[in-house]
Amino acid sequence: MPTLHENAQTLLRKLTANPNASFHPGQFEAIEALVTDRRRTLVVQRTGWGKSAVYFISALLMRAQGSGVALIISPLLSLMHDQVQAAERAGVRAAMVNSANVTEWEAIRARLDANELDVLLIGPERLNNPAFREEWMPYLQPRLGLLVVDEAHCISDWGHDFRPDYRRIGALIRELDTNVPVLATTATANERVSRDIAEQLAAGASPEDVVVLRGSLTRDSLRLGVLQLPDEAQRLGWLVEHLDTLPGSGIIYTLTVSAAEDTARLLQTAGHKVLAYTGKTDPDERREAEEALKANRVKALVATSALGMGFDKPDLGFVVHLGAPSSAVSYYQQVGRAGRGTDYADVLLLPGREDRAIWEYFATASMPDEQNAYAMCEALADEPDGLSIPALEARVQLRRSTLELLLKVLDVEDAVRKIGSRWYSTGAPWSYDAPRYRAVAQARVREQEAMLAYESTEGCRMVFLARELDDTTAAPCGKCDRCAGPWYPEQVSERAVQQAQGTLNAVGVEIAPRGMWPTGLQELAGENAPKGKIPVSERAEPGYALARLSDVGWGSRVRELLATDESGEPLDTPVPQALGQACVRVLAAWDWGETGRPETVLTVPSPVRPTLARSLGEGLAHVGKLVYLGEAKLAAEPRFFGGNSVFRCADVMRSYQIPPEVIERLREHPGPVLLVSDIVDSRWSITVLAQRLRAGGASAVYPFALGVTH
């Protein structure tokens, strides 16, 4: 009779379509822990080690013993399509349940009833869907023979990619029969994250009872390097000049959407076959871009982190980062997409001076602050009939994305629940774990410091990354730029720099006018507050900003103006001449259309940088020979920076006024007004002031700003 090892190896060879395949160190040990010992098991192994082989083979072996279906929870369902096809070659009968195949759910359930499925795959967000939890989970739990948690670092809020959806998994594990084995897999967990995962796998028992199989995380195929260049023009110029020297096809990562789009345009103009890939790219275009890279029809995708864990191309030849991620662990994961199935691949980091400012600008806590968390609970407790998200926005000062994240966390912790489109308080006691979240925030700062340390380390770069993941077995790689010297060109020609400078000097980003007042405004601004659609006769016209704050080029120069001094106070200086001239270029290229060129200028006063805003308005009026109306009046300090639309709009209505003397001058010059701001974020200040200027006689209102956040 064949042994477990022989049966497992037969399945491995079918799965890989390789008649000579053998297990990597640790693979069979994991299978044995699950199939024979029915243990809770954590596997921490590098990308490409073969974690999926462990769970597909274990599922088949356990099914042969009469066990129930294996449930695999993974955020990588796009990648799973490829894996499922491979698994089916080995005889695995698999199905997925996701939001894209709701019409197939009934048929999938019938196959489960008939015992015709070996593996069911779901995304973690399914567990946070009330209907799925109530209808599917009670049905699935007694049928489970194996539970697999893929990308398990997401289950830990210490992990670099914590996701609240994963918090439900801990509750699911606690409800499982102890005889049901559980496998958690990840390639990016240090000791702290591993301990946290083990505690959740133990489900109240001792974490020591969890089998932890941890392998070396070094990647022998990768040749790492960091090239410090003085500015953005040099970094972009390096790509223009040297992209074709990198092996095969690969990925160029940027920190922002606009940087990805701008860089892709520059490289395309320079003759390189590249495509932009961001969270804003149409889903169909993203799939086409992925296929183009897999088929080597393009040299590179210029991407944000939207090109995430689910992308798999074994022969990916290089990864270049134009700007550093905020975590060395995130960096390890992203560069790990290269060289999975090849003997070598090149990995280069081109850090920028502005990286840290971008990290701080985009930093979002995994949990909103304590005050808003309790405000949310109180708002729901006061409404036994529940509240919709728009109604909650009128009661809690949070942006919608942050509000939805908080609801998800509170839902996982059983403080709230969703029925239909409304949220309700459960009445269960809940307390904010302030020390834990404070410690997590401090850990994020340490991750940033580790990333900066990676850039300047004198030792082997692969050893540095491995040690960030607490892999103490790493030895010097012998091939990175610290071990063997720079392997990449260090010089950039003046011609390439000039070509890059053309992209950096491009000016002008459209500011779209708002067309609707926020739902629930009457709650905060009174029953006479406007609602519904904003009449065209009361709206601003489409406007322009010099740059997005996240842009390469002018965006970085605008960000420099928003710096603080050593005490943390905002710097407030007049607009530098170069920025002023760039603003004039935007106005000179503006097509004013039938409404005509502006006759007057009004400045939106800045509560933080009044000198900057005033000098911009006065300067544009002087250069354009326009009548300067002065400033709108800041009647009260704005209170709700960063809140949702309801709070921000109500705040602007309360804080900003058009002084009588401005209205008087407007009557003398009733033509179009150029409404000048330093920074445009929510667009409510320009929306409210445009309405009031139109009511005061302005024939049109054109918003203009130095920078726009979105």
| pLDDT for the residue numbered 637 | 73
**Residue extents of the structural domains in the chain:** 4-214, 222-358+461-503, 506-708
Q: Identify the pLDDT of residue 357.
A: 77
pLDDT at 627 over 60: yes
Task: Give the pLDDT score at 76.
Answer: 67
Least Cα distance to 588 among 540, 544, 541, 539 occurs for: 544
E strand or H helix at 138: helix 137-140
Q: What are phi and psi of 165, to 5 degrees?
A: -55, -35
- Architecture of the domain made up of 4-214: 3-Layer(aba) Sandwich (3.40)
Over pLDDT 70: what percentage of the chain?
Answer: 95
Pair 303, 251: CB distance under 8 Å:
yes
| The pLDDT of residue 344 is above 90 | yes
Which tokens belong to 636? 């009260």
Query: Which range is least confidently modeled, 84-93, 397-406, 537-546, 639-648?
Result: 639-648
Whether residue 100 is predicted with pLDDT greater than 60 in this model: the reply is yes
Mean pLDDT for 144-156 is 89
Main-chain dihedrals φ then ψ at residue 321, nearest 5 degrees: -110, 120
- The values of phi and psi at residue 390, to 5°, are -60, -40
Q: Which helix (H) or strand (E) holds 225?
A: strand 222-226
Residue 284: predicted pLDDT: 79
List, edge to edge, every strand of the sheet that includes 345-350. 222-226, 345-350, 318-322, 250-254, 300-303, 274-277
The most confident of 247-251, 367-371, 649-653, by mean pLDDT: 247-251
How high is the pLDDT of residue 287? 86
CATH fold, domain 506-708, is: Rossmann fold (3.40.50)
CB count within 10 Å of CB 704 equals 25
pLDDT in tens, 425-482: 999 988 888 887 788 788 888 889 999 999 999 999 999 999 998 888 899 999 999 9
pLDDT at 680 over 90: yes
- Return the pLDDT at 200: 86
User: Looking at residue 373, what is its pLDDT?
Assistant: 86
pTM: 0.80
Q: Report DSSP state, residue 576.
A: P
Residue 161's pLDDT is what? 60
CA distance 424 to 180: 34
Residue 354: per-residue pLDDT: 82
Q: What is the pLDDT of residue 264?
A: 94
**pLDDT for residue 505:** 83
Q: Tell the CATH superfamily of the 222-358+461-503 domain.
A: P-loop containing nucleotide triphosphate hydrolases (3.40.50.300)
Q: Which residue has the higher pLDDT, 393 or 611?
A: 611
Tokens, residue 177? 């029969």
- Tokens 């997409």 found at: 337
Closest CA relative to residue 278, chosen from 309, 250, 257? 257
pLDDT band per the 50, 70, 90 thresholds, residue 83: low
User: HEC states along 660-695?
Assistant: HHHHHHHHHCCCCEEEEEEEECCCHHHHHHHHHHHH
| Average pLDDT score, the chain | 89
Residue type at 505 in one-letter notation: N
The pLDDT assigned to 309 comes to: 65
Query: For position 472, what pLDDT does the model report?
Result: 86
The Cα angle at residue 679 between residues 673 and 685, in degrees rounded to 5:
55
Torsion of CA 36, 41, 45, 51, to 10 degrees: 60
Token pair 């933080």 is found at 608
